Structure 1
Amino acid sequence: MTIAAEASGIRLGMRANLAQFTLLVAVNALVGGMLGQERIVLPLLARDDFHLTAYTAALTYIVAFGATKAITNFFAGTLSDRYGRKPVLVAGWLVALPVPALLIFGPAWGWIVLANVLLGVNQGLTWSTTVIMKIDLVGPERRGLAMGFNEASGYVALAATAMATGAIAAHWGLRPGPFLLGAAYAALALGLSTLAVRETRGHARAEAARHPAPKNPDHHGELTTGQVARITSFRDKALSATSQAGMVNNLNDALAWGIFPLLFAAHGLSVAAIGVLAALYPAVWGFGQLFTGWWSDRIGRKHLITAGMLIQAAAIALVAIGSSFPVWATALVLLGVGTALVYPTLLAAIGDVAHPAWRARSVGVYRLWRDGGFAVGALLAGAIADAYGLTTAIWTVAALTAASGLIVAVRMYETHPQT
């Protein structure tokens, strides 16, 4: 349904803003593609070209990426409230331009880590902003569906790029071919963001003007950034439960990114086969969100998040048990299903609870916690793998993921207004 705003003439709703919404879906696909260029190639590059034998050292690029992206997420929300969404989006793509060149020509591992610092800034600014802009455009009634489209576009593109780079690497080597895709993505996205994307902050203001007074007095419209951080991280049960679930979700994604390819290679799988496995998980995750975001608008957020975290835990345990391509393929499909249930639903829950006046900052705080999971996961999995082996690291993350699902079941209240 389209919601008429005040005298400004701004209208909220997916149908009323279909052209801009579709454009932002395309831009976010390019954001996901920038990440997808690394998913298969960098773990193998660390092992084969830079001869890093310690898992913790090999995963430093994920630590750098995750920590930088997490911090940038926080500032992206604040900056987009202060200066507008579009300038933040364009700045994110400017930062992305050197990344492919650093990955192609970097003569030492430190250059690869630097590329991932810049990639973290790019991802934090661009992905956060496309999330915020879609929430601005659609209003409250189709928030889950909007987040489903947003996250699906990013992760389907990530999967397709991962598979493409795996095929390129198998035929032409780990460098430079796979990273030429990233160079094309960055140039195209910068052009679209500069020339075609329009500012959406006015839509958030229009929604805020007609937004009902929040039931919780702590959630009134005029909050400092510190207050927003405390409410999102700790004080509100739903917001804090979603924040910890987001963090654990990306903790296990760091495992899938950095550890799974090394496990598969240790069992003798080819680069092409590893590419297929690495693409299965984000492909199912991406396409699944087209359904799960819409589903959360129908049945609510809490139960989908709980179920998704528990399914992820079971899938990760199956990876630890398995030793063959068919078993791992099954596990990664399940991991994609579990993540699809969780990912857009967590964002929709933040949008449900946060007032439009401070929603962008709340999204930034949530994404600070969520993408901090990359750094925590890489450090934790790397340290445990160095000390006790790859399988023990995988079992540890499976247990943490199950615990996170139980926390959601106990602590979170249902946030969807019609459930």
Structure 2
Amino acid sequence: MRGRVPVAVLALALVVAGLAARFAVRTLQTARHGDARDFAILYTGAHLFRHGASFYEPDMVNSEGVNRNAALVAEARRLGTLHAHDSLVHIHQFSYPPFAVLPFVPFSALGWRHAVGAWLALSAALLVAAFAWIARAAGLGAVAALTLAAIFLTWEPLENSMGLGQINQLVLALLALFVWALASGRAALGGAALGVATALRVHPALFIGWLAWRGKWRAFGVACLTAVACTALAAATVGWAATAEYVTRVAPQYGYGTVPGQLGNLSLTGWIVATGHGLVPSLPLGAWRAAGAVASLAVLAGAVIVLRPPGPVAPARLVPELGLVALVLLLIAPNTTINHLVFTLLPLAVLVDATLRDGSLGRAAWLALALVLIGAVDDYYQHPGLTAGPAVLLAGIKTYGLAILAALALTTLGRPVEAT
């Protein structure tokens, strides 16, 4: 005779079913009517790549948003991928390495609206795979997995990322595969997944540094070789000129903190620049950017100290460490936006599991606060009224949430026991 399913599991399953249905409906609405603004540039870029034209726009000033690549604008107008902000009609800048255009070339065989639907359907499948890999790597039980699913389905970063048609769903799935493969002893598979993720977005390279720190040389070598191979493939197909343009002109635009009047950069540097300029506007932005860079380096150095000594660690500590690295990455990256916070799925899995296991009300309260700050409050934090004076402190709520998660992640590491 079958045992009875615990009431908590049934209750959570019902909640998740309702939230999943809501997520599916909103995704369908986006597919039919949404702008999918980030997918638009990937799709348009794929068309330009097929025509042998440049999809980069290094002369575009991000604070203005005015397109200056005539070929890009003409192609976007032909494809119907332009979108409007009041009187400004434009398309987002292609901000990724050249390799990122290649996975989207197949979508260029479809019309715009069908391509959006296909990409969002694939994105949903990638999210399911990412969730499954992370849940397995973290060893989540039914209650913890359902709780995490409920949180993630209500997560503003997820809604934002899906609404924009972001590449994040692909990168998240690759990072989740990396974590699961590493935790299950599949070093080569994990390294390959991490290498592709790094070629797509660069920032995951921090995990490659972690592999070297922990002496996981097989995964490290495969990750490096894969990233180099993907970059070389892009150079051979897209062209060396595009690679040089990205490295010298496009990427540096995202290496600075936010500018006055923009509150969307949630990294530590972005918070310091926005807050510092809002409170003391007489100081030049360069001073605040320098302060942000120093603070980011200090956080990175602190993470290295926490993760001492180098070398192998016990398997039980592996996933919590990777969760901490993910949070450190989001804090120290030059530019972190709301949709990037989908990468908190791994540390959330670790923290939800730890909170449910130990039953600590203190940890639960702090976790709940971080969930509200990051996942429940909408775009008010970018309101123009929060750009100056003491009110600018309210604009940093997402950064505060990240800092809380990072502090909580430290409590999940336990003793740095070396693997035997």
Question: Do they fold alike, i.e. is TM over 0.5?
Answer: no
Select the structure of larger CA radius of gyration: 2
Bigger RCO (CA 8 Å, 6+ sep): 1
TM-score for the superposition, normalised by structure 1: 0.30
Which protein has the bigger helix share? 1
